[in-house]
Structure 1
Amino acid sequence: MRIVVIGATGHVGGYLVPRLVRAGHQVVAVSRGLSEPYHPDSAWDAVERVQLDRERGDADGTFAGRIADLNADAVIDMVCFTKSSAEQLVDALRGRVQLLLSCGTIWIHGPATAVPLAEDEARQPFGDYGVGKHEIEEFLLAEARRPGGLPSTVLHPGHITGPGWDMINPAGNLDLEVWSRLARGEEVVLPNFGLETVHHVHADDVAQGFQLALDNPGASVGEGFHLVSDRALTLRGYATAVAGWFGSEADLRFEPFERFAQSTAPQHAQATWEHISRSPSISIEKAQRLLGYAPRYTSLDAVAEALQWLIADGRVDVDGRELRASSSR
């Protein structure tokens, strides 16, 4: 197939594009600039690169047409954030491509009643990101299920993790100092009792899910799927595991969120609130059953690989301690 990947050099695209090339597809990588992917791979030598600014193109109504003119059999959209952007793309692609795969998020769910959350649970999304992605999914799946509609699938990753970028830490934010303090056995403050959850997924496992949906349109069209690791992590369990990788014992202090926020930089406190207010614990049963999805990485496996990169890149200082994490892979 000729496959256009929009947002191809992002976190997932760095793994997805090489997967598609090695499967024998002709890949067109669309990105705003010509930056290199996070995950280098020689497969990129066989990829056609196209530079398009989606925000500008959506504003002047040219982006969707430019994508349609690439004459793809399938389009994979990693960077759609508004229903209006999705509508423009669908109008341009309807009748011209066989399949549209769109990247959503587990933040289509708000607080859970029971866990793990399945795709068809009653939803209470909040915040622009979660609400916007929920609206996009509703539109695309309705489009896919109506006669003559564009065949579409939506895949919802958790907290995407991998080497090359920062990932959500045991405090539920992106503060790199949290990793250093855990490695050195220094005190780390966690909100409440540290029992809220986060649910990671390695970028390559997200790529796996997209490839499976592409390969199984009979099972995937008109459906939404979660893509996460096998299990979520509690904040305190997560912190304890990370400290143990460095031979340290986690020194944890628990504070009500309001006091936690007072001792935390505002941007990190806000990120923590965004994560613990949702506390995702997500089911992958549907993707396993219909697509054969089988994540290679546990949450801790994915974090360990990403943290090793942050240390090697000089982003996290662990005073020379060696990260020793057992892997389930």
Structure 2
Amino acid sequence: MEKEEQLLNTRLEFKSFIDYLRNERRYSENTVKSYQKDIAKFLIFLNDNSIDYREITIDIIRSYILELTITHHSKATIKRIISALKHYYKFLYLRKYINQDVFELISSPKGEKKLPDFLTTNEIDLLLDENKKRTDELADRDQAILELLYASGLRASELINLTLQDINMRERIIRVFGKGSKERIVPFSKTARCAIEQYMQGSRPKLLTNNPKGENHIFLNSHGEKLTYRGLEYILSEVEKKTGIYLKLHPHKLRHSFATHLLNEGADLRTIQELLGHESIGTTQIYTHVTYSEMKNTYDKSFPRARKRRSE
């Protein structure tokens, strides 16, 4: 057993925190695993230096941040780790495992602003058109996944957790349970509806024959079971191989494309915030940087003085 697993398995308070994330906050398994990994590293750091987790100080936390920096962790990674530890220690304090929450006095480092990676409308059209030409037995499922991810901006976890009861084909709306089990209603396009209908009448019934227990989730793997996150990533990788269109596909890339294209077509930020399920408008505002960048490129190509200066 690995050192971090041995350490964490002896901590009842840690198990209690993980149960809280899963059962009360309803975080995805990937998020829970990320918390486990980040908190484990800190507890091992304390253990290696013979420090009781209940007796940490601001200087100890700063020493840990310095160690992360020296070992070439990015600002974004350090920010994520500190965020996880702040959440953990707040939980410990509220549940009376510790007498004070020192992390309350720690500010997270400012993260590096990374612009969302997205596909152009031409790339989206090419991807969907080429995938539609496939004739293998899972082609209609993969087309439905691509169409719905792009047409709704769903997170990967939201897509794989969709059930038959969550989707209204007639009205073209989905009931989505996002982060923290927050419910929202998301519309989807007519082309996505058509792709889903073809999948529901085509390969889905065949996939279900591989699972005697039946399955209520919409998107299934080859065993007729609910897709996993890794399974979805594998499907997108296979789509690239089968179509010959290599765009570094990822569920979040299609989500970013959805939001960016909406903004480019004039949708307001508040609407996009609601559709994406962002808690803060600040999270949605990053897409304005993308469209401003695109706007500047158009300006540089079109404005006479800009063209002249580029050629000088």
Shorter-chain TM-score range: under 0.3
Higher share in helix: 2
- TM-score, structure 2 normalization: 0.26
Higher share in strand: 1
Query: Greater Rg, structure 1 or structure 2?
Result: 2
- Bigger relative contact order, structure 1 or 2, given CA contacts below 8 A and separation 6+? 1
